[in-house]
A and B are shown apart, each in its own frame.
Chain A
Amino acid sequence: MTFVIMFLEFFKTGLFAIGGGLATLPFLYDMAAKYPWFNEAILSDMIAISESTPGPIGINMATYAGYHVGSQYFGIPGGIFGAILTTTALVLPSLIVILIIAKFLERFKTNQFVKDAFYGLRPAVTALIAYAGYQVVAESLFRFSTFFETMQIGDLFVWNAIILFIVLMVLSRVFKKIHPAAWIGIAAVVGILLKF
């Protein structure tokens, strides 16, 4: 029975969490309060783990909860079954919705309204992504909170991160053929060696 409820809860999350990973968080907090599957402390650990492992947080949390609950009943096989079950439940609504939209777009690709809509959308989405990019840059290269406390201009810049940023920027423009993941690997090693 627990498995059925878990499937339905994660299906609901997948259906109503609109706009990407962090949108699943309120649903997950709600689940933490309602069921004994995981608590808020585990959830905040999970947010940290999701930032340090590949993959979207919603998927990671679904996998974690499914594994955790399943393994209480049937050990490791139960855990794996639970993880697959909850992850499938989370993904299924968007799979269905996107398949329908993809079919719709295929048919109406030449429709003038659809064309105009996407003409307006592309710059807007570029801006949304650019703003997300700005936030990533600001968080990793600057320390605004420390700066506003001390008002020392030197506290604003994270120098080692800024230097790494410039070096990687130049290298990635010179060696365009190199897979983006390689830069992530290099940066991880530099971070460990220089104790970022």
Chain B
Amino acid sequence: MRLLWDLFFTFFRIGGLTFGGGYAMLPMLQNELVEKRKWTTEEELLDYYAVGQCTPGIIAVNTATFVGQKIKGFWGAVFATAGVVFPSLVIISIIAGFIQNFSHLEWVQHAFAGIRVAVAVLVVNAVLKLWKSGIKDILGIIIFIVTFVVSAVFSLSPVFVVIAAILVGILAGQVKRRTKK
């Protein structure tokens, strides 16, 4: 039971401290799940993001479900997911109930111009950490560059990128084992 509440409150913190959606959540996930709690590794986090790209739902929720399930089965998944959603539920209910025009307030806009810079710093740091666990050889570097360029030039759905990368991975595995024999 303690572990369930632990999951709930950890994801409550992550949900409450993430501004700007899925990718901005990554630094929080690395800090809370990989470094502090050691519930997952960087590799697993990448895998969750990969699966989240091509399954329904919001990546933050998907990652919470994955981690919860891994730590404490079905109820772990439910508690972690409830935790990550809860802050939005409270904050938006308050805004919907009382405050109109919240985002038009001048100081709110100044604050968010500042926050965007911090998010940029955090995401760059997160990517540098991921680089170490995600890219291990020449093929990895090639896949990285191709994916980056393709996303920059065409606005392709990530689903296609994910499918292509899976095929390349399987193909490379086959070739590697054939040549070893």
Contacts and interface: CB of A to CB of B under 8 A. Distances in A.
Interface string B138-178: 01110111111001100001110110111111101110000
A131 interface: yes
B132 to A, nearest CB: 10
A53 B56 contact: no
Nearest to B130: A126
A17 to B, nearest CB: 6
A92 B107 CA distance: 36
B91 to A, nearest CB: 5
Interface string B112-150: 111111111111111100110111000111011111100
B61 A95 contact: yes
Contact of B118 (A21, A126, A186): A186
Find the residue from A21, A55, A117, A120 having the highest chain B CB count within 10 A.
Answer: A55
B121 A54 contact: no
Interface residues of B, number: 103
A121 B60 contact: no
Find the residue from B95, B118, B127 having the highest chain A CB count within 10 A.
Answer: B118
Nearest to A14: B57
A175 interface: no
A131 B147 CA distance: 9
A115 B169 CA distance: 9
B97 A98 contact: no
B23 interface: yes
Contacts of B78: 95
Interface of B: 15-24, 26-28, 31, 43, 46-47, 49-62, 65-66, 69-70, 74, 77-78, 81, 85, 87-89, 91-93, 95-97, 101-103, 107-108, 110-127, 130-131, 133-135, 139-141, 143-148, 151-152, 157-159, 161-162, 164-170, 172-174
9 contacts: A20-B58, A95-B81, A99-B77, A121-B169, A122-B140, A129-B23, A140-B120, A180-B31, A196-B117
Closest 6 CB pairs of A and B: A120-B169, A191-B114, A94-B57, A55-B88, A116-B173, A187-B118
Given A17-B56, A19-B54, A102-B66, 19 more contacts: A19-B52, A20-B22, A51-B20, A52-B103, A52-B111, A53-B88, A54-B15, A55-B88, A56-B21, A84-B89, A95-B65, A103-B69, A123-B165, A130-B127, A136-B116, A172-B125, A183-B118, A192-B110, A196-B114
